Amino acid sequence: MTPKPDIIVDTRGLFCPLPVIRTSETAGNVESGSVIEVIADDPAVEFDMPAWCASAGHTIKLVLKEGDVFRYFIVTGHPADGARRE
């Protein structure tokens, strides 16, 4: 089942790492445990978004790919959950 997003961040037309940056701005303004749906069409998001979520302590619950468009459903974590950078 597709999670119900609390907020949608539409980054279509934006190049990486802007989808990550716009998602991070939104994540900074919502409670932890919120669901953010990120819509993106830069293919590099497939690498950037999981890496960033891991470092920032967020969890990707579901990824949908419809044509060239990705939809990420991300549950925001507590920032202290982020992994250390290696």
Partner 1 sequence: MLETFPRQSDPNVLVGLNMADDAGVYLLDRDRALVQTLDFFPPVVDDPFDFGRVAAANALSDVYAMGGKPLTAMNIAAFPEGELDHAVFADILRGGAHVANQAGVAIVGGHTVRDKEIKYGLSVTGIVDPSRMVTNAGARPGDVLMLTKPIGSGVLTTALRAGVLGEAATGKLVDIMTRLNDAASEGMVSHGASACTDITGFGLLGHALELAEASGVSVRIESALVPLMEGSLELARAGHLTGGGRTNRLFLNGKADMPAGFDEHLLALLFDPQTSGGLLIAVDETRGRRLLEWLEPRCPGVSIIGSVVPEQSARIIVS
Rounded distance between C-alpha atoms, residue 7 and residue 23, angstroms: 10
For residue 4, count CB atoms less than 10 angstroms from its CB and return exposed for 0-12, middle for 13-18, buried for 19 or more.
exposed
The answer to the question of residue 24 lying near partner 1 (CB under 8 A) is yes
Which C-beta is closer to partner 1: that of 51 or that of 69?
51
* Active-site amino acid positions: 16
By CB under 8 A, what part of segment 26-45 binds partner 1? 27-28
Q: List residues binding partner 1 (CB under 8 A).
A: 14-15, 17-18, 20-22, 24-25, 27-28, 51-52, 55-56, 78-80, 82, 84-86
